[in-house]
Structures are given as structure tokens and as C-alpha cells.
Structure 1
Amino acid sequence: MTVIKGGLSMFKKRIGITQRVMKHPRYNEVMDCLDTNWANLLTAMDMLPIPLPLMSPDFTLEMWKELKLDGLILSGGNTLVDFADETDTPESLSPERDAYEKALLNAAISTQIPVLGVCRGLQLINVYFGGQLVKIKGHAGTRHPLIAENNNASFLFPSEVNSFHDCAVPRDNLGENLIALAHDAEDNIKAFCHTHHKVLAIMWHPEREVPPFKSDCQLIKGHFGI
């Protein structure tokens, strides 16, 4: 058994992270699932990952106060129900997760806690602020160049990123008070931040790069104040 010297107090930040909802066909179970790469990535940056179980939005604020989180990550997985089409299976959708994450985002904003959206997380944040999504093909399981916005002088991004999504945010569909930070060759927004909330979102998966990109680590650490 590995013993952590100094205990959990050695971590500089406590970061809540949401999880993919999966339905097990054999056992008739609905499960919270999180890639173990997230734990590897965050602990390497002196952050303690706290997986957040799917629960009723009614309990969100009480849970939030008890956990005393320093940050929130809205992770990937599960198409947003309002933007699903015939290509999405019922098992890939979770209206409960959609509602829960919106409640978490609201709690984080109201308490001025930094939020990082990843892939689906970016999409949910965009919708939360009144933006829209469109279905897109050829962006799942591939890589493509990332183009930084001309006004982006504060964030350092990788020059190429992974891509695992089938919903996109065209520039004209960006939500209110969201500032585009990077886009792809088709001018779909790949990263944005909010004008006055501590909200940052990226469409790629930093946890799926092994070893992780240095620029991704700097981005995450900077956003959560490490």
C-alpha cells in the first residue's frame, strides 16, 4: 500500500470533477465513471481530485459547502440531451447529468470558484450562457491544429490537440460574455473564457495526452491558482 507523506494536506487544491454517466446492460446499473488519467494528471500538479457523484440538483449547494472545493472541472462524455439526434443512443444521454452540472456550475459561479470545462464541459458552459451547439462530423478520434485568437495574449495552448466530439460551437453560436481564445480551421471555437467569471473551457482532453502537454499543465495550474 502506498503511503502519502504528509497526508492529503500535501495537495495545494481540492478540485471537484464531474463524471461520465454509463448504463451497464448486464447489471441494469447506472454508474459514474471517470478516466483514471484524471487522477494521474491532477495529483502530479498538486491537486486532489474529488469525483462528484451524480445526485439531485436539490442537494448541490449543501454538498458544495461541505466539500470546500477550490475548483470545479466539468469533464467529458454524454451528449447534451437538448442537442442529441438520431446518431446518439439513449445510453449515451443523461438528462440528470445535464441538470446536475448546470446546478454545479451555478454554485461555482455564485461562490466565485474557478471552473474548467473540458469537451462536453465546454459545450455545457456555452449553453448555460445562452449559446448553441451544432452537430459535426469528422471530429471524433482525430487530431487537428489549434489556432489561437489574435486577442489571446494570456493563455498558452498546444499547437495541435486531440478531438473526441461530435458537437461544435461555431463562432456565431458563442454564449453571452464568452470570449473566444482559440479555434480550428473551420472556425469552430475550441477554447473560451468568461469576461468576469472564473470560467475557462477547452474542447480537447488534456488527460488523454500521456505524457501530458506542458502547456496544458501550465494552463490548468494557472487557472486554479497554483
Structure 2
Amino acid sequence: MTTWVGVTQRVVAGEDVLDQAWTRFLRHCGLMPLPLPNDADTAQRIVTELPVAGVLLTGGNDLGVCGGDAPERDATEHALVDLALCRHTPVIGVCRGMQVLQHHFGVPLHRVEGHVSPSVTLTVDGKPRPANSFHNWAATTTVAPLRTWVSGSGDVVKAVRHETAPLVGVMWHPERMTPFAAEDEELFRRVFQEES
């Protein structure tokens, strides 16, 4: 049986765009991407009416509160988070996607320096693991019902989990790892296949 995941897209010159790396990564995890348009009503209908196991909030485009210029994406992703929380639909937010989750719960975002690198080491659940970092905005704190799961340099929050809902955010890009990290594959399978 196919496990479909609704995937949000960045906005580039008025067009919805999805990095091909996401298709490769999700297929590697046994998941099928279903690109969601940056139209809140249509995206919510897709997630409600089709057998979607969860929603992936991808990276790209700064949020409007951080000077971004894709208000249609902001509106769509916040509407999807509202819907997911009401329906207990699994959500993974990656980079910008995690920032959307944090902003949704009132966590302040700040400009940060030194968090752009194709190779970093993070400590996750007490174990070091390779990752990457491609962001200029972040949070240094979190609020309930989110919990900090991973921290990075400068007390930057690198991953969060919701206390009760199947909702996770990470600041690294699993789709950009070469090879893909087993820890990321396990996370995506667990959230989208076991939680749904």
C-alpha cells in the first residue's frame, strides 16, 4: 500500500517549486510525495479528502515575519498546521518548516550567524550524527507544547517535538545528505507510517 505524504513547495517567481531531492529522499523512505499548492483552501482539501499520511513542510523562502515575500506560502502552511492539529495528522517541518511550527506556537525567531554549512555534527538523543545547516533565522528557546529535542551552537534550537501531537521539526535538510542518513530515514518512516 502506498503511503502518500503532502509536501509543501517553495515559491520562486510566482511558481510553486519542489526540489527533486525530496522525491528521491521520500521514495528512499518508502513514501510517495504529493506536492501541495500554495493555496490554503486547495491544500487543506487535498489533505482532508485524499489518503495522505501526513504533511511535510519543506525549506526555502523566509517567513513574512523574517522579511520573506511569499505570504501565500505562509498562509498555506499555517492553515495546514491548524488542520493537522485538529485531525492529529503527522507533520514534519524541515528548516523553514520548523520555523513555521515555532512561529505557529509563538516562538520568536532571530537572525543568526554561522549556521550555513554542508557538514556539521549534532548530538541527537545523546549520540553524535552528521547533519547540515542552511539557515539564517532560528530560535534559541521554545515554548510548550513544543519541546527542544536537539540544540546547536549558540543555543540555537535544531529540533523540536510536540508534547502530545505527532509533530516534529528539524533545522537540517535530510534530503541534502549524501548518503541519506539512517536516522532521518527512521524518523520519517516512524512519523508518517507508524503515527498515521
Segments of 4+ moved more than 4 angstroms:
none
- Find the aligned partners of 1:61 and 1:35 in 2 and give their Cα distance: 21
Match of 1:206 among 162, 171, 174: 174
CA shift, 1:33, in A, is 0.9
CA shift, 1:69, in A, is 0.8
CA shift, 1:158, in A, is 5.7
Partner of 2:139: 169
> In percent, how many aligned pairs have the same letter?
35
- Find the aligned partners of 1:80 and 1:114 in 2 and give their Cα distance: 22
Match of 1:53 among 21, 37, 43: 37
**Would you say the 8 A contact 1:144–1:184 is kept in 2?**
no
Judged with a 3 Å threshold, the aligned counterparts in structure 2 of structure 1 residues 218 and 180 are, in CA distance, closer, same or farther, namely same
- Find the aligned partners of 1:37 and 1:117 in 2 and give their Cα distance: 16
Residue 32 of structure 2 is aligned to residue 32 of structure 1: no
- Find the aligned partners of 2:31 and 2:109 in 1 and give their Cα distance: 31
- Find the aligned partners of 2:43 and 2:18 in 1 and give their Cα distance: 19
CA RMSD of aligned residues (A): 1.7
Residue 76 of structure 2 is aligned to residue 120 of structure 1: no
- Find the aligned partners of 1:45 and 1:147 in 2 and give their Cα distance: 22
**Would you say the 8 A contact 1:19–1:34 is kept in 2?**
yes
Partner of 2:66: 83
CA shift, 1:161, in A, is 1.3
**Would you say the 8 A contact 2:53–2:193 is kept in 1?**
no
- Find the aligned partners of 1:176 and 1:96 in 2 and give their Cα distance: 27
Amino acid at match of 2:140: P
CA shift, 1:185, in A, is 2.3
- Find the aligned partners of 1:22 and 1:82 in 2 and give their Cα distance: 18
User: Structure 1: any 5+ residue segments left out of the alignment?
Assistant: 1-8, 24-29, 85-91
**Would you say the 8 A contact 1:71–1:114 is kept in 2?**
yes
- Find the aligned partners of 1:164 and 1:101 in 2 and give their Cα distance: 20
Higher strand share: 2
Which piece of structure 1 moves more, 41-50 or 112-121?
41-50
SS of structure 2 residue aligned to 1:108 = helix
SS of structure 2 residue aligned to 1:146 = strand
- Find the aligned partners of 1:209 and 1:53 in 2 and give their Cα distance: 26
Partner of 1:14: 4
Residues paired across the two proteins, number: 194
Match of 2:84 among 98, 108, 114: 108
TM-score (norm 1): 0.80
State which structure, 1 or 2, has the greater radius of gyration over its C-alpha atoms.
Answer: 1
SS of structure 2 residue aligned to 1:211 = coil
Residue 42 of structure 2 is aligned to residue 74 of structure 1: no
Match of 1:97 among 69, 73, 93: 73
- Find the aligned partners of 1:46 and 1:159 in 2 and give their Cα distance: 22
**Would you say the 8 A contact 2:105–2:143 is kept in 1?**
yes
**Would you say the 8 A contact 1:134–1:167 is kept in 2?**
yes
**Would you say the 8 A contact 1:158–1:213 is kept in 2?**
no
Amino acid at match of 2:22: W
TM-score (norm 2): 0.92
- Find the aligned partners of 1:187 and 1:145 in 2 and give their Cα distance: 14
- Find the aligned partners of 1:147 and 1:169 in 2 and give their Cα distance: 17
CA shift, 1:142, in A, is 4.0
Partner of 1:88: none
Match of 1:216 among 178, 184, 188: 184
